[in-house]
Structure 1
Amino acid sequence: MDIASLLVQVISGAVGGAGAGAAAKQYSLGTIGNVIAGAVGGGITGQLIGNFAGQMIEGWVGDIAGGAIGGIVLTLIAGVIKNMMAKS
Structure 2
Amino acid sequence: MRKYLVLEERVNKIKKVMIYETDEEAYVFLYDTHEDKPCFADYWFESVEDAEDYCEAHINVKEKNWLVIDDPKAGCQHDLIECK
TM bracket, shorter-chain basis: under 0.3
User: What is the TM-score of this pair, normalised by structure 2?
Assistant: 0.25
More helix by share: 1
The answer to which structure, 1 or 2, has the higher relative contact order (CA under 8 A, 6+ apart) is: 1
User: What is the TM-score of this pair, normalised by structure 1?
Assistant: 0.24
More strand by share: 2
